[in-house]
Amino acid sequence: MLENGQINEVTDYGLVSIVMPNYNGEKFLRETIESVLSQTYTNWELLFVDDCSTDNSLELIKSFRDERIRVYQNETNSGAAVSRNTALREAKGKWIAFLDSDDLWVPEKLEEQLKFMVDNGYAFTYTEYSQIDEQSNPLNIEVTGPRKINKHKMFQYNYIGCLTVMYNREKVGLVQVEPSLKSRNDYAIWLKVCRHCTCYLFNKNLARYRIRKSSLSHSGLKKSLRNQYRLFKYGEKMCLISVLWHTFVNMFFGVLKKIFYVRKKSDI
């Protein structure tokens, strides 16, 4: 950052532990890692957990000669919940951030979000983000969310983009989720964190979420309902009536999110 011709030193807010699960992410991994290496805030560690990839992901991540990158491997293909649990157990940082192996951060992401949290005394925040395609071209879609998400609102719907989240581990403690959750395991983390602190929106676009044809999590209503059911049944250990109620509420507020918090930009 330049000011009056001089470079300002970035304030050190403490170590950030970046959680990155990976399965066959080689195609986009280099660009993702470079977006981490380009951060203006440099006090971070990257906990990369590979879930038995069959591509060259491991070789690629090991080619980055940076001691801040720590690589772990699951013994068997176990899913992102197990990978994230491993990273969260191994994390040493005061702060926890999340980035999947195909998404991107803008260079100021960590620095600006940390400043926002410390200046306001927030322990749990998220930011706005944009969508990109498989070639990293912008799709002219920006996603935001509610300014404040308390526990009640968090159970309504997952308004949060995983790649934008940061929380204070010292205030929240160790978070572990149900290992069998193959989907919605990021949401399962937020549901646990929100029991300790309210989540606040930093209304600045600091990340790029990649839309992939093979994962248009846009997997259909039936599958989406099943994933929500499993989240509340096994992740939250709810009784059947509560599971059905919260699944219905989630679907309803999911529609509202698309109406109020997803913005399409006109081509310039």
- pLDDT tens by residue, 54-94: 999 999 999 999 999 999 999 999 999 999 999 999 999 99
Q: What is the CATH number of the domain that holds 187?
A: 3.90.550.10
Q: Kindly report whether the global pTM for this prediction surpasses the value 0.75.
A: yes
CB-neighbour burial class of residue 254 (10 A; exposed 0-12, middle 13-18, buried 19+): middle
| Per-residue pLDDT, 2 | 47
Print burial letters for 227-245: b (CB count within 10 Å at least 16), e (below 16). Answer: bbbbbbbbbbebeeeebee
Report whether pLDDT(247) > 50.
yes
| Per-residue pLDDT, 223 | 87
| Per-residue pLDDT, 219 | 58
Domain tally, the chain: 1
- Domain limits at 206? 2-264
